[in-house]
Amino acid sequence: MQELSKQLENLQQDFEEAWNKLDILAKLERLKLLESQTNEPELWTNPEHAREVHAELAKIESETSPWVLLRTQITDLHELLALQDEELAEELGRQVVLLQNTFAELKKALKFTGPYDAGDAIIRITSGVGGTEAMDWAGMLERMYLRFFEKKDMKPTCLERSAGEEAGIKTAVYEVAGVNAYGLLKSEHGVHRLVRLSPFNADNLRQTSFALVEILPLVKNDNSIQIDEKDLRVDTYHAGGHGGQSVNTTNSAVRITHLPTNTVVAIQNERSQLQNREKAMEILRGKLLQLQQEQHAESINKLRAGESAKWGQQIRNYVLQPYQLVKDTRTKYEETDAAGVLDGKIDNFIDAYLELQIGQDVTEK
């Protein structure tokens, strides 16, 4: 019993340290404030604001409730151990192990301490040169991520999608909502390379294809990110695709160019020009933030022209022939179950990247 008590004390110490690092108390205070707002009848006089309040409340609840429950369980187990009942020793031992495993899972949240890690994300997939082969590869990546979102209970919303003429996609843009969405997905930012026997080649030759995946933080109207209006060129045009009422009949599609960096964002899926502009600005803020991190610039005003993600060097290789291997060039982590990876099992690649980032942060400090 003494050994169990010691294990539980160590667990509680580590738990409290993580609780403080994640500032769970402040989140619980915020939760109380939001709950009080939802009880106010006038909240729904502004439906958009009401939806934002409920969405934030649900998100904070999902983040904090496992921590609150574990804290209660640790306290209860302390009380049971204090009884010193040897007949309960075996069962209490199992409970300690169970709580240790639960904490190990929750502790993964410590990897998401960046300013935008806890928020939602934008994922943009673009096929490289190579025609149908490259577009098919981009489509395979799109499916991989959609399966991953499904397994993680993330909600993807398609903002833009251009299908290939024969197969796959030319480009696809999704807004991804979920706990730590950006923190989880940021490891996927870069060029992905596929090697396989081409199904689009009569000779069935070995083919190499590339696709660019951009992961951007979803940044609403954030006062800390100042974009000068004179640095923007806004073009409007008829939306393409099948559309619906008012779509394709008005200049609802919006293309915004950030002139200093030549960063272009185009959105046409929303119903109105105003909505498309708002969504395009959210994506533009994310692109500029990504570019700011890559260039180590002090502010957005000091950015120079360049792309948010370069086509130069791939971050991950997917080899389907003559053998099966998926290998990350940054972490060196690899898996031979290529089919499983392409079915959305990318958790281990993400974990390896996050561990690498933590190690680099410690070295820099």
Please give the Cα distance from 356 to 262 (Å, whole number). 32
Q: Are residues 190 and 333 in the same domain?
A: yes
Q: What angle do CA 31, 36, 37 make, to 5 degrees?
A: 95
Q: Measured between alpha carbons, how far is residue 91 from residues 81, 86, 87, 94, 97 in Å? A: 11, 10, 8, 5, 10
Say how many residues make up the chain. Answer: 365
Instruction: Based on the fold, state whether residues 65 and 188 are members of the same structural domain.
Output: no
Per-residue model confidence as pLDDT tens digits over 237-273: 876 654 444 444 456 788 999 888 888 888 877 668 8
SS3 of residue 47 by DSSP: helix
3-class DSSP assignment, residue 356: helix
Inform me whether the pLDDT recorded for 74 exceeds 80: yes
Helices (H) and strands (E) in the chain, counts: 9, 11
- Domain assignment of residue 117, yes or no: no
Q: What pLDDT was estimated at residue 305?
A: 63
N- to C-terminal Cα separation, the chain: 40
Residues 248 and 361 in one domain: yes
Residue 205 lies in a domain: yes
On whether residue 94 sits in a domain, the answer given is: yes
Name the residue with higher pLDDT: 110 or 363: 110
Among residues 82, 111, 140, which one ends one of the domains? 111
Q: Is residue 136 assigned to a domain?
A: no
Kindly state whether residues 75 and 215 are assigned to the same domain: no
86 and 219 fall within a common domain: no
Same domain for 321 and 239, yes or no, is yes
**Residue 112 DSSP code:** -
139 located within any domain: no
Q: Could you tell me which of 310, 308, 359 has the C-alpha nearest to residue 332? A: 359
Number of structural domains found in the chain: 2
Report which of residues 237 and 191 the model is more confident about. Answer: 191
Residue 85 is predicted with a pLDDT of 86
Q: Is residue 121 assigned to a domain? A: no
| Domain housing 94 | 2-111
Neighbours of 200 (CB within 10 A): 14
Question: Which DSSP helix (H) or strand (E) runs through 96?
Answer: helix 89-106
- The CATH number covering residue 62 comes to 1.20.58.410
Amino acid 242: pLDDT: 46
Task: Give the model confidence (pLDDT) of 159-176 as tens digits.
Answer: 889 998 899 999 999 999
pTM of the shown model: 0.72
CA distance 31 to 183: 22
Q: Are residues 6 and 86 in the same domain?
A: yes
Q: Is residue 227 part of a domain?
A: yes
- CATH number, domain containing residue 265: 3.30.160.20
pLDDT score recorded for residue 308: 45
As a whole number, the mean pLDDT across the chain is 86
Of 56-70, 132-146, 350-364, the poorest mean pLDDT is in: 350-364
pLDDT band at residue 222 under the 50/70/90 scheme: low
